[in-house]
Amino acid sequence: MADMRTKMAHLMTFTRKRWFDSLMFVGVLCLSFLALSQARAASIEPFVGSYHGTTIEHAENELQARDLDVVIKETERGFVVDWSTVIHKTDGREKTVSLDVEFYATERSDIYGSAMRSGLFGKRVPNDPLKGEPFFWARIVDKTLTIHALYINDEGGYEMQVYKRTLDDDGNLDLIFRRFRDGEQIRDVTGKLERQPNRY
């Protein structure tokens, strides 16, 4: 009888161990699948290419048209976004603004840091917003690439610029740009950018 109880105890211990091992295996698989899904969601590859379009700015009770060119390139560390904007003033004048920002992957799979200047040893490093320089970071979720730019002014206030570029079913980009000053929205730009035949 004692031998039977001993065998039953061993069997129950073995069964519980197998059940625990199976549960751990399933848990690891779920975490691996989640991590893989996040990594895929954060890929820049679908956005890579050249785009051109016209945007409409809603600011100060008037509309202004903008011609916009955007080039997104993949790099070893992440990607580079290069954009050029021609602003058509109501009085006929034109203003051109160009900017390119390099982004690199971080430990957080869907968030990219920026590197816009060379540091002490020649390594590319982020800007310092406390010196009046814009601090950029990017985030990729599903089909939307969002770029944030933070500015700190001389009075200690801040300005935030948010660029949202969303891929449509044809591979073109829907653009939403918003500008905030101390939390208040002061500018709103929407537009459509068509993918160009050449990738760069």
pLDDT in tens, 158-192: 999 999 999 999 999 999 999 999 999 988 888 99
160, 178: one domain:
yes
Q: What is the pLDDT of residue 39?
A: 42
145, 180: one domain:
yes
Whole-angstrom CA distances from 180 to 95, 125, 135 are: 21, 25, 15
- Residue 178 in any domain: the answer is yes
Q: What is the pLDDT of residue 138?
A: 96
Whole-angstrom CA distances from 144 to 46, 104, 118, 172 are: 10, 17, 29, 12
How many domains, the chain?
2
3-state SS, residue 39: helix
- Residue 189 in any domain: the answer is yes
Q: How many CB atoms lie within 10 A of CB 138?
A: 23
- Residue 172 in any domain: the answer is yes
75, 156: one domain:
yes
67, 2: one domain:
no
- Residue 101 in any domain: the answer is yes
2, 84: one domain:
no
Please give the backbone phi and psi of residue 43, each rounded to the nearest 5 degrees, phi first.
Answer: -70, 140
Question: What CATH number is associated with residue 171?
Answer: 2.40.128.20
End-to-end Cα, the chain, rounded Å: 80
52, 122: one domain:
yes
87, 181: one domain:
yes
**pLDDT surpassing 60 at residue 20:** no
- Residue 68 in any domain: the answer is yes
DSSP per-residue string spanning 35-66? HHHHHHHT-SGGG-EEEEEEEEEEETTEEEEE
22, 34: one domain:
yes
- Residue 6: domain span: 1-41
31, 97: one domain:
no
34, 51: one domain:
no
105, 125: one domain:
yes
pLDDT in tens, 82-119: 999 888 777 778 888 898 999 998 888 789 999 866 55
**pLDDT surpassing 70 at residue 121:** no
- Residue 200 in any domain: the answer is no
12, 80: one domain:
no
